[in-house]
Amino acid sequence: MRGDSPEGKFKQHPNGFFNTSDFVEFLNNKNFEVIVSAYPEPHPDSKGFDFDLQLLKNKSASGAKKAITQFCFSKDDYEKLIEAVLKENIEVEVIPGIMPIYNIENITRMAEKCGTKVPSNIINKFGDDDISNQKYAIEICNDQLDYLSELGCQKFHFYTLNKSYLINKIFRERSLL
């Protein structure tokens, strides 16, 4: 578990773990349920999709049973990840991470740091009208929930950034509250 490096490249703590798989194995031996990360789009430090998939496979082999994905706005990228997990027999439940768009500029900046793409058709639809922006953000989340459900996903992780009003509206619309 390392999080984002404040500056520059990751440096291992002298008493820490170099990779997630070692940490997962350590925790798994202590009877923890470990949920790891998965990447529909390559992690910024990654060598590519296949590299990230191999890391996920290693995490699973070390004892992880669930993986929450980085937020992603591409149906194709989510589908590619889920199909690859099944094809490679990676025994981990993939839980899609969904990021409601509270502020398009902030999400775009965050996505850039995470190596995630925000499609221009999404960016261009946001404007100065907060009510229209909220409606569009809810529409995006509902579309994601629909197509991810069609792919077989039954659980979801919402990156709320300590703001629950869009999630509450989505849950009410979907009769989940």
In the chain, the domains with their CATH numbers are 20-173 (3.20.20.220)
Range with the poorest average pLDDT among 3-17, 77-91, 120-134, 152-166: 3-17
Q: Kindly report, residue by residue over 136-171, the tens digit of the pLDDT.
A: 999 999 999 999 999 999 999 999 999 999 999 999
How far apart are the C-alpha atoms of 116 and 104, rounded to whole Å?
Answer: 14
Average pLDDT for 68-73 = 97
Whether 64 and 74 have beta carbons less than 8 Å apart is answered as: no
